[in-house]
Structure 1
């Protein structure tokens, strides 16, 4: 198995931090008191989100965190976890756009999710995952 370039550890680590922040965001949004203190737009997004979209949001961030942990462990299952996360991101972004319109944060989440999945495919082909 080929040894990864040092940038691999940086990208996988930053991806994990990004997804852990998403996990914290998800947990915060499950707390009614915390939601009540948020700006009105965020309250609207959260209150109008159906159960399936909430589940997709959780799957997106927790699946992304698991995928990045698997990347750091150099396991090829990281690709599957990051693909599941990307599909869940697409569902979440679609619902958010239909509820409140396009927001920069939704585009950023989609770009980061797609980039992490793409990167996992590259490092798999490079022989860095087992």
Structure 2
């Protein structure tokens, strides 16, 4: 196994923070109470009152938790990070295709969903590169 360059560690830690934010977003949505929603500004309340299908919630959970575990796998230098990132990307793409089809997103609101998918694809490529360079085993 080869020693990874410093930028490998930087990318892996940044990706962990990115996916950690996704986990927090999921947990916030999953455990938000009616009292918490009532304290939000009116325009944000509507977002939490939308009823999403169960499969959408499952795709969201797979996307964030597999992405987070994939980052941990990169940090402990395990090649199964690649599989976790593929599962994460499939979850994120499923989730966002549903949003694109059912929610009117224009302008700035479409940027984050596209960024999520781009980061997922990047992490798949990054994990594959780490395997090829033998930075992970």
TM-score, normalised relative to structure 2: 0.86
Moved more, 78-87 or 43-52: 43-52
Residue number in structure 2 paired with 1:116: 123
Is the contact made by 2:67 and 2:85 (CA closer than 8 Å) also made in structure 1?
yes
Is the contact made by 1:82 and 1:113 (CA closer than 8 Å) also made in structure 2?
yes
Residue number in structure 2 paired with 1:32: 33
Task: Give 1:40 deviation, angstroms.
Answer: 3.4
Is the contact made by 1:71 and 1:120 (CA closer than 8 Å) also made in structure 2?
yes
Residue number in structure 1 paired with 2:14: 14
Structure 2 gap ranges (5+): none
**RMSD of aligned residue pairs (Cα, Å):** 1.8
Choose the corresponding residue for 2:99, options 79, 83, 96.
Answer: 96
Choose the corresponding residue for 2:89, options 76, 86, 89.
Answer: 86
TM-score, normalised relative to structure 1: 0.91
- Report how many aligned residue pairs link the two structures: 130
Structure 1 gap ranges (5+): none
Task: Give 1:117 deviation, angstroms.
Answer: 0.9
Residue number in structure 2 paired with 1:4: 4
